[in-house]
Chains A and B, each alone.
Chain A
Amino acid sequence: SQQGEEDPQALSIQEGENATMNCSYKTSINNLQWYRQNSGRGLVHLILIRSNEREKHSGRLRVTLDTSKKSSSLLITASRAADTASYFCATDVRDSNYQLIWGAGTKLIIKP
């Protein structure tokens, strides 16, 4: 089942610009994760942020989490053509066996 809503559904920017994607969710969470999927491929884990964290960095990625608004954002700075992919947020399910609930995804296109 899907609980996350991501916006925008699609984003096209010029190389070098920053890209921001948002994710909202409905239930209480322990953590929220962001994954990336290149076309026709599996997903790659990018970053995990716990419910008691507000911001996390990994290279050119910055993730924020606002549990009061039940929302998260993923910022990719200084975008590159190779960042072109779909990005999904996922939240954990309480009392489940590591199951995740997935957002609808944002299709990011970086124009060279």
Chain B
Amino acid sequence: GAVVSQHPSRVICKSGTSVKIECRSLDFQATTMFWYRQFPKKSLMLMATSNEGSKATYEQGVEKDKFLINHASLTLSTLTVTSAHPEDSSFYICSAVVAGVGETQYFGPGTRLLVL
């Protein structure tokens, strides 16, 4: 149980285009999902907290107009990297918390984004 999927697993795009990454909880409802960015050989950097039905809470230094987050249902959150640039290339990981249970985060497999 508590499986989280992420799609796509890998994406290459041209500079200036937008990329949407989906995070789905497959067998549970997630009122809260988290979006992280991870640089090579580094720890997770929290970008934003996504709550179903409300606006995402962004961490300091993360541009909310650049990284659009939508949490439209209890099983789906999306991260859209708008007007992507090479410096946005990174590994993006989402996680979800089981509604009403909390504490443990269940992670998706991550999305490798390369912006040319």
Contacts and interface: CB of A to CB of B under 8 A. Distances in A.
Interface residues of A, dominant DSSP: strand
Interface residues of A, number: 24
A97 interface: yes
A90 B112 CA distance: 23
Given A48-B104, A88-B44, A104-B42, 17 more contacts: A2-B43, A31-B103, A35-B107, A40-B91, A41-B109, A42-B4, A42-B107, A42-B108, A42-B110, A43-B44, A43-B105, A48-B103, A90-B105, A92-B103, A98-B32, A100-B105, A105-B43
Interface of B: 4, 6, 32, 34, 41-44, 46, 49, 51, 57, 59, 91, 93, 95, 97, 102-110, 112
Interface in A1-39: 1-2, 31, 33, 35
A89 B4 CA distance: 20
B43 A104 contact: yes
